[in-house]
Amino acid sequence: MPTVIVSDTSCLILFYKIRELDLLKKLFGKIHITDAVLKEFNQKVPDWIEVVELTTELQKGLSSYLDKGEATAISLAAEHENSLLIIDEIKGRKAAKELGISVTGSLGVLVTAINKGHIQTVKPLIGKIRKTSFRISEELIEQVLDKVNES
């Protein structure tokens, strides 16, 4: 289990919209975010989401091709050797992986939740996700449903 969980904005917004933000707490206990992610999220965060200042300037280089939230989230995850970064955007995931950071996305969080017994099925949550503006391919949904034996 990673010692530090860092989230980019998209996961927070999505889980907030589908009223499942507490699922992140159940799974991970504490989530670390940057001030840039907090500003993009633009909601009051619960006490288990901790805003952490960066100690490096890695985000400056990443900001040339990623948005500020993604760049700072990747930088924060890179500052911790055993971290997990929750990020959905393909460019951000690729950059994080190139830096050796473990990544998952919002749907990966749902797979983890089912594997750990925090939810019984992902289909109702995917139904809620489909009602939001979150962009997700049918192919990815099918992969997730296959992974949790709900196809």
What CATH number corresponds to the domain at position 141? 3.40.50.1010
Residue 1 pLDDT more than 80?
A: no
Distance, in Å, from the CA atom of 28 to the CA atom of 3, rounded to the nearest integer, reads: 9
- Domain with 84 in it: 4-147
pLDDT digits (tens, 9 = 90+) for 68-125: 999 999 999 999 989 999 999 999 999 999 999 999 999 999 999 999 999 999 999 9
User: How many structural domains is the chain composed of?
Assistant: 1
Residue 135 pLDDT more than 70?
A: yes
pLDDT of 65: 92
Distance, in Å, from the CA atom of 107 to the CA atom of 109, rounded to the nearest integer, reads: 5
Distance, in Å, from the CA atom of 85 to the CA atom of 88, rounded to the nearest integer, reads: 10
In this prediction, residues 28-55 reach a mean pLDDT of: 96
Query: 103 is written with which tokens?
Result: 């990544």
How do strand 83-86 and strand 4-7 relate by DSSP bridges? parallel
Residue 9 pLDDT more than 90?
A: yes
In this prediction, residues 16-28 reach a mean pLDDT of: 96
Percent of the chain with pLDDT over 90: 83
Distance, in Å, from the CA atom of 8 to the CA atom of 10, rounded to the nearest integer, reads: 6
Query: Which whole-number Å values give the CA distances from 16 to 3, 101, 134, in the listed order?
Result: 24, 25, 12
